[in-house]
Amino acid sequence: MKSLKNVYMFAVTIVCLLIPVLAQAEVYVSEKLGFKLPSALYQIAAGTMHPIELSGGDTGIEYQIVMNSSGSTFADIRLAVCNNSQHLNYISGVTRACSNKDFTGTIQFSHKVKAGEKDILIIDNSSALITSKKVLVDIYANISLSTNQKQDIEVGLRKTLAGIHEFFDVDEFDLSLLPCGQSNAFSSTDDGDITMCSELLFDTEKKGLKNAFTGIFAHELGHTLLNLWGDPHYDNELAADNFAAAVLLISENFEYQDLDESEEDVSAEEVIGDMIKYFESIGNTSREAQAALLGGQHPLSIQRVNNFKKILLFPKKTAEKWTSEIYPHLTVVALESITQQPHLGANVELARTLLERQKACGSVPLDKCIINPQ
């Protein structure tokens, strides 16, 4: 049996591996998952070339590529797009059968690599005798999912939702995984629907911080639960971070049956730790401060980092602070789990009282249920 955090983890692990393993509100998975590769600046010496390998993966990948040579003294340069068998001949000068494009400044194009194949982009400065060239390369990739992969991810997302409803009493909301053009995630103000961006998934995975994806999902879930429970602070970012941390801590010992035993168990602290590293990795205080000065509502990454560091120092206090807000929205299964296996900072007394009320009230909502009316 695995803990609830594995419910959040589940979709993540499976999507990252892109292996068919990923379960009722609606779930939506885009047929293509996009992500951005890190920008790279190449300095290509006179008389040399630089190859960049593009893989087609298992199902074919469409790349959008932007190259910019304007940082060079002489910005004219050649780009060759070769298939795998052509490129060595191109580099050795035997043939120049690849498709060539000469450009000065910026070039932008799409290139699709078929499933199981790989193509090579060659930045070719071989005609220069003296001057090296600087080329900044930005690549965005769209992976096509096979029908099975898409269905398996949908199954994982449905399990994630089912796991949440097993422990939290909350209205239905949808869960989507799709490319957004940015590394982000959203909870809809209207209905609490959550969108996780494929760019964020790949970004956290690439940085070795996949638990951060779990944590960011918990943050969006924080917005959603607070919103659907009618809490006026649902759109406050730091409140959502604190709430997410509390949910992770409180659900630490919840056990969800419908998950694969092979899923690794991760502690709330590990998830929060990866969130800290992730926000440190994307933090740009001067840019964010600028945005804040222009009226942006988002806290600076450094503020979120400091807030999470405080939570890690005082996890018990964080959980304690939220028990009275969260417990009334827990199911019988969740409350029983707390009485049997209390989490750090648990209020077992409150869990018992709520359980008694739940049992006395049956299907009548707690706020409409009056016990011992005489």
Interaction site with Zn ion (CB under 5 A)? 237, 240
DSSP of 239-276 = HHHHHHHHHHHHTTT-EESSS-TTSPP--HHHHHHHHH
Closest distance between Zn ion and the C-beta of residue 220, in Å? 7
Closest distance between Zn ion and the C-beta of residue 245, in Å? 13
Phi and psi at residue 249, to the nearest 5° = -70, -45
**Helix 332-340 vs helix 348-361: crossing angle, to nearest 10:** 150
Placement of tokens 């011992």 in the chain: 372
For residues 231 and 323, what is the distance between their CA atoms, to the nearest angstrom? 15
For residues 358 and 33, what is the distance between their CA atoms, to the nearest angstrom? 43
**Helix 268-282 vs helix 210-228: crossing angle, to nearest 10:** 100
Containing H/E element for 318? helix 315-326
Q: Which of 340, 332, 25 is nearest to 157 (CA)?
A: 25
Closest distance between Zn ion and the C-beta of residue 155, in Å? 27
By C-beta, is 185 or 354 nearer to Zn ion?
185
By C-beta, is 235 or 270 nearer to Zn ion?
235
By C-beta, is 58 or 237 nearer to Zn ion?
237
By C-beta, is 155 or 305 nearer to Zn ion?
305
By C-beta, is 156 or 215 nearer to Zn ion?
215
Q: Which of 271, 267, 261, 262 is nearest to 222 (CA)?
A: 271
Closest distance between Zn ion and the C-beta of residue 274, in Å? 17
Q: Which of 204, 152, 159, 199 is nearest to 179 (CA)?
A: 199
Closest distance between Zn ion and the C-beta of residue 237, in Å? 5
By C-beta, is 211 or 227 nearer to Zn ion?
227
Phi and psi at residue 247, to the nearest 5° = -60, -45
What's 145's DSSP letter?
P
What's 374's DSSP letter?
-
Closest distance between Zn ion and the C-beta of residue 130, in Å? 52
Closest distance between Zn ion and the C-beta of residue 281, in Å? 18
By C-beta, is 126 or 188 nearer to Zn ion?
188
By C-beta, is 237 or 280 nearer to Zn ion?
237
Closest distance between Zn ion and the C-beta of residue 197, in Å? 13
